[in-house]
Structure 1
Amino acid sequence: MKRLLLMLCIAGLATPAFCASDVDKLDSRIDSARAVLDEIMSTPDKGIPDSIARKAVCIGVIPGMVKGAFIFGAEYGQGIVSCRTGHGWSGPVFIRMAGGSFGFQIGGQGTDLVLVATNQKGFQDLLQSKFKIGGDASAAAGPVGRDAQAAADASLRAELLTWSRARGLFAGVDLNGVSVTQNKEDTDKFYGGQHSFESILHGSVPPPDAARSFLETVRKYFHDAQEQ
């Protein structure tokens, strides 16, 4: 049913109010991701280390991961991912995350998550329609602050580095067992047409204006060495 309604929006056959309402929700999700990233990275000595940010291949933000009874107590959340291209950062794609019981580790409900792909293998994982952290993709809890050695060690041992923020505390978190799924419906809706995740994340599809503020925030904190 959702797929049918999406196709009607894309084809211009659904009511503008219905389609606009859905797009507004996606815009809000992107703005929430921007706010989470800005708040985390603007805290001196308590964000993602610069050495990791400079080398990041992709960045994912999942604002407000919650525990849902409808999936038997597992964690569930929706977020966005952008990847570095030859000319900046790509427009965002939408993802879903589900599974695991890490909420008990990091304070329970309403937890923000950040994922960083540290190499091309991590990027390729994100191009899959679904993959499991710790299974299909090696992952490790990310370091925090300016500990250069910890950052270097973390980058060597994992394709994905993962962090959480709950009750004001930002820390690395173990997300092994959590599944990441492409949210094609929301991505198509946001772009107003069908595009593959690969084409978007390679920078072949211009990002909508609603993504501008998020991408400016990513560029601000995830610049590379040549941009300093």
Structure 2
Amino acid sequence: MKKIACLSLGFLLVLPLAANAQEKEDDRVKESGQVLRDILESPDKGIPHDLVDKSECVVVYPSVKKAAFVVGGSYGRGIITCRTGENFSGPWSAPAMMALEGASFGFQIGGQATDFILLVMNEKGAKSVLSSKVKIGGDASAAAGPVGRSATAETDIVMKAEILSWSRAQGLFAGVSLTGSTMRADNDANKKLYGKELTAQDIVFKHEVQPPPSASMLLSELHKISPKRKP
């Protein structure tokens, strides 16, 4: 009886911890959706919508902060969603959790948190980001994205890049290079969000994974702005 009582007590103690962990990841998904909506809906300084139309995945890192205990180091957590279906031609997937680590984000203003949005522009870049730890600018070619809804997206550097990136800090929005930083799947966070072991590839490529309610803003915005990929 004592053993059963101890097991029951342990189970009751674990439940609140699991709920708090899931709530934390839900908040990350919600914040990512809000950042994406703010930037895509910006009338004059947002991301060109024709680039979103050509992209295969969107990555959002809200509130990336400098790690004061590591010189120049930074760390952020966010989400990735990709177009589903053959040749990335279907609707946007449930979000998978991602981590961003960088040697130096010198453009951060006064140590303030910075939001990042990345567009993954081709299949090679998408599969690379989802399958392993990727060094931006090394394993995947990258460039600072052009700013402004009417900005041209036909420059050589934009056309050749696998990843385009932007930042927003203290209201300032700009294309920014993340070369030298690394991205990886945050599978511990995926487990907390979905309640079971799932890799980023499982979430993005397996249609049976349903998005959590916290992803409603994120996915509704993408379906509104870019419901279908354009060549």
Bin of the TM-score, shorter chain as denominator length: 0.7 to 0.9
SS of residue paired to 1:105 = coil
SS of residue paired to 1:126 = helix
SS of residue paired to 2:210 = coil
1:200 alignment partner, one of 203, 212, 223: 203
Q: Deviations over 1:129-180 (max 9, x none)?
A: 211000101000000114453x122431200000000111111001000011
1:111 alignment partner, one of 102, 105, 114: 114
What is aligned with 1:44? 43
- Mapped pair 1:82 → 2:115: no
1:77/1:225 Cα in 2 relative to 1: closer, same or farther (>3 Å)? Answer: closer
What is aligned with 1:66? 65
Mapping for residues 167-186 of structure 1, pairs under 5 Å: 167-186=170-189
Q: Which amino acid aligns with 2:122?
A: N
Partner Cα separation in structure 1 for residue 186 and residue 75 of structure 2? 13
Over alpha carbons, which structure has the higher Rg? 2
What is aligned with 1:152? 154
Contact kept? 1:162, 1:173, Cα under 8 Å: yes
1:225/1:76 Cα in 2 relative to 1: closer, same or farther (>3 Å)? Answer: closer
Q: Which amino acid aligns with 1:61?
A: V
Partner Cα separation in structure 2 for residue 221 and residue 50 of structure 1? 7
Q: Which amino acid aligns with 1:101?
A: S
Moved over 6 A (4+): none
What is aligned with 2:218? 214
Partner Cα separation in structure 1 for residue 69 and residue 123 of structure 2? 35
Q: Which amino acid aligns with 1:157?
A: K
SS of residue paired to 2:53 = helix
Q: Which amino acid aligns with 1:138?
A: S
Deviation at 1:225, TM superposition (A): 6.2
Number of residue pairs aligned between Structure 1 and Structure 2: 213
What is aligned with 2:164? 161
Partner Cα separation in structure 2 for residue 37 and residue 210 of structure 1? 14
Deviation at 1:100, TM superposition (A): 2.9
Partner Cα separation in structure 2 for residue 13 and residue 95 of structure 1? 30
Deviation at 1:110, TM superposition (A): 0.3
SS of residue paired to 2:190 = helix
SS of residue paired to 2:154 = helix
Deviation at 1:24, TM superposition (A): 0.7
Partner Cα separation in structure 2 for residue 212 and residue 85 of structure 1? 17
Q: CA RMSD in A?
A: 1.9
Contact kept? 2:190, 2:199, Cα under 8 Å: no
What is aligned with 1:143? 146
TM-score, normalised relative to structure 2: 0.85
Partner Cα separation in structure 2 for residue 122 and residue 201 of structure 1? 14
Contact kept? 1:97, 1:178, Cα under 8 Å: yes
Deviation at 1:50, TM superposition (A): 1.4
Q: Which amino acid aligns with 1:208?
A: P
Partner Cα separation in structure 2 for residue 45 and residue 171 of structure 1? 12
* Structure 1 unmatched ranges of 5 or more: 1-11
Q: Which amino acid aligns with 2:118?
A: L
Partner Cα separation in structure 1 for residue 37 and residue 217 of structure 2? 11
